[in-house]
Structure 1
Amino acid sequence: MSVKQALLALLEQEPMYGYQLRTEFELRTGSTWPLNVGQVYTTLTRLERDGLVEGAGADDEGHQMYRLTPKGRDEVASWFTTPVPRTQPPRDELAIKLALAVTVPGVDVGAVIQQQRSATMQALQDYTRLKRSGRPDAANGADERGEMAWSLVLDSLVFAAEAEIRWLDHCEARLRRAAQDRSRAAATQPSTQPSTQNTGALR
């Protein structure tokens, strides 16, 4: 997730200060990826250094406001029109865990898969309940676009959980087939035990 581009996209609408940006980001993404306000201000400092935002003075309460520069607007436009690259996917902790589990002796890979499946199923049920109950702040007059943004993020989490469960099922099936193949291979191997047949006394 690019906090940098997200903050720039929010600033394209109007000048804001750090805490406002944090609130808006979490509101629009259903608080799925909470931001530390210190991270927001650190990012704003870097954006200002790179000429993408500039100070816009202080508001009536003394908050330092930030606004986009023309270079910043170009950056936002480029972000929205450029596909998210998949050539270098982010590290997937679960995939790494299973890749190591199948190569480390003594690890019960089946148990690892079952535990993860239970946890992912629980998360999927939580997302589904949340989807049925609606956005938490809907009663406070959340606007239609905010509702749509929240719903799309929730859909993404649901689809990701469903895909993870299918992948875990696939991993379990492959492990089962591999175990069966090893059993069949062992059964067809010729015996290497020394013969105990009596060949008669040496003369």
Structure 2
Amino acid sequence: MPRGTTPTRRHRRELHRWDGFPFLVLLAYMVVVTVVVEAIPENIRPIGMGIFVLGGIAILVWLWRWTARPGAAPRPLTTPEGAEFIDTEDIPVHRRTAVDESYLYRGSIAAARAWVGDDTRAILVPGVTRGLRRELRVAVQIEGNGRLYTVGYLARDIDGDWQDVLPEAPRFIRVPAHIHLTTRGTLAVDVDLSGVPDALGIAH
């Protein structure tokens, strides 16, 4: 069972599945075009430019289709519809784990809290990338009024281990969560991961 006592190995999105990959391809194409155009004789340069423009259009079409491909990089859930949730049991002695980077999602936490209160359940979504980063994280989401709010991620020192054991879509683990005010007066979220091993049949 993941313990978080030592730093875990980082999980990263494969380069060809990374959200920034198409832009690397486009950048490389532009560099090649710039170099090659300078080497083309002036009398046939317009023909060469026409070919490169067509090539650029083809890359843009590919980029658009790439973002909608079936194997697109996982993102936080937008709706609970179609997902299967496995609820962990409430254990009397809770081991609360602070959700990392919750300060970036104060608005989402406040919105979720308005619907569900301080004590609720959070969904763990593994294999998520934030922005254009390749690093894979376990996103933490809370449902409120049929909408899912991202409230942060599991901390990096434990999230690598959990990536290896959490189920993949459409099955997700749902754990007890507590929304509270920090000493600075900002909203934060803690989750209780202690029931996950039993829910997944993992040896302690």
Give me the TM-score of the superposition, normalised by structure 2: 0.26
Structure with the larger helix share: 1
Give me the TM-score of the superposition, normalised by structure 1: 0.26
Larger radius of gyration: 1
Structure with the larger strand share: 2
Q: Which has the higher contact order (CA 8 A, sep 6+)?
A: 2
